[in-house]
Amino acid sequence: MASSSSSSRVSPVRRALLLSSFLFCFLPRHVAAGATGAGGYVTVSTNGFADSSATCDEPAGPVIAPRQRNGTLAVLRLAHRCGPSTASASFAEVQRADQRRVEYIQRRVSGVGSRGAKGALQQLAAGSRSATVPTTMGVGTFQYVVTVSLGTPGVSQTVEVDTGSDVSWVQCKPCSAPACYSQRDQLFDPAKSSTYSAVPCGADACSELRIYEAGCSGSQCGYVVSYGDGSNTTGVYGSDTLALAPGNTVGTFLFGCGHAQAGMFAGIDGLLALGRQSMSLKSQAAGAYGGVFSYCLPSKQSAAGYLTLGGPSSASGFATTGLLTAWAAPTFYMVMLTGISVGGQQVAVPASAFAGGTVVDTGTVITRLPPTAYAALRSAFRGAIAPYGYPSAPANGILDTCYDFSRYGVVTLPTVALTFSGGATLALEAPGILSSGCLAFAPNGGDGDAAILGNVQQRSFAVRFDGSTVGFMPGAC
C-alpha cells in the first residue's frame, strides 16, 4: 500500500511545508472536539476495545447524512469493508500491509524515485456543489466501502474508498481465477452495458493516465496501478454511467476494467479513487458537485457513515486547516501538523519534527508520527495513565504501548489531541486513541518525513475537502 532516513537534513519539500505552517498561524483557532471533549481525561467502556476483526455485521440503522443547504448533493452509505471470513486478514497482516503503504507514501512525498520532482507546495483554490453515499469498515482490512451502480442496466458494485489514489476500477468480465478473485457482487460485464465505451489508445483520457498507462490491448487503452501495500490491478480503460445515489449520476465516468488483480482485495469489487488528479472521481465529478467532498468513517462495524460529493461551499461548523501540495506527490491531501497534547497538556515537540507535513489518508490504518513526536506522545501517555495501575500487555506489532483491560468494565484514559496549522485541533475520541488495547500511533521513518493521519484517528469525524482547506467536525456518524 524503503526504508526512510532519520537524518536531520531538511529537504526543500519539508522546508516549504514548515514555512507554510506560519502562513496559517494567524487564522482563527477552532477545535473539533470528539465526545471526549477537550478535558484531560475520559472514562469509557472497554467494550469498544474488542478486536475489530472478530466479527462483520451489516450496518444497522439509517445513515446520518449532512443536510443540504444549497447546491447539489449526492450521499452514499459508507461502511466497514467485509469480506468472506476465510479471507479475512490477521491484524499482523494488516499492519504489514499498512507499513508498506506508509513507506510508499513517504517515498512519493519526499520525491525519492520521482523524476523531476520539485520540492514546492501550492495552496489551491476552492470549489462548490454535492452527492452522498453510505460508508462501512472491513474485517481484517480496516478499510471502508460504498456501494454504487455501474453501467446500463446498472450493476451494483461495492468499492473501497481511497483518498490516496487516482484511478478507480472494478473487476470486469472476461476474468477468472486466479487472475480475478472471488467477490460478493456479480462481475461487471461491459458487453452487457449499453452505455459502456472503450477508451482508444490515442484519446486524451488515455494520455492523462500518465504513469498508470499500460500500452494498448488491441486498440484499447490499457491501465495498471500498483499500490503501496503491494497490491496491483491491470486491465483496460473505459467509461460508463456511474450512479452514486438516486438521481445522482456521472454520465461518462472513466474507470479501469480490471482483468488481473493481486493483493488484499477480498470483500470488494474494486476501488473508488478520491485523489487530486484529473482521473479521480472527485475531479471527474467536479462539474456537477464543485470539487467539494466529505466523509465520515464509522467507528464500529455495526454502524454506517457516509461519503458526500458536493455540499455547501462554506466550511461553517468545521475546524479547518490549510490544504498543501507536495509537487512530488500531487495525489495526496496534505496538511501541517503543529502540536500534540495529552491529558490536556501540550507535549514538547520541536517544530522541525513536523516539517514534512501530514498526509490525510483513508487507506492508512494507524497514524504515523515523526519519531521525536511519537516518543514524546508515548512518554506523556504512559505517564498520564500510570496512576490508574492498568497492567501492561505485550506489544502488538508496530503498536508498542499496550494494556490488559480484561478485568475492567470501564477505564479512564488521558485525552489526545492533534493541532494543525491555523489552530484547528482534533480532539480524539477513545476509538482514535486506542486500538486493540494499544496506543494507536506509531513512528514513521525519521523526523521531517511526512506524517500520516490514518483512518483510526479519523473515525466518527466528518472530514471535508474543498480544494483549499481540510475540515474536521466531531460526532458526524
Catalytic annotation, residues? 162, 361
CA distance 187 to 108: 33
Other CB atoms within a 10 A radius of the CB of residue 44 amount to 18
Altogether, the residues listed in the chain come to a count of 477
CA distance 238 to 256: 6
Which DSSP state fits 18? H
Cα angle at 285 between 292 and 289, to 5 degrees? 45
Q: How far is CA 335 from CA 7, 30, 63, 373, 464, in A?
A: 22, 15, 28, 16, 13
Q: Which of 255, 268, 362, 248 is nearest to 309 (CA)?
A: 248
Q: Are strands 337-342 and 345-346 parallel, antiparallel or unpaired?
A: antiparallel
Task: Give the residue carrying C-alpha cell 453501467.
Answer: 151
What residues does 462 pair with on adjacent strands?
Answer: 296, 473
Q: 380 near 372, Cβ under 8 Å?
A: no
- How far is Cα of residue 439 from the mean position of the Cα atoms in its chain? 19
What residues does 76 pair with on adjacent strands?
Answer: 133, 307
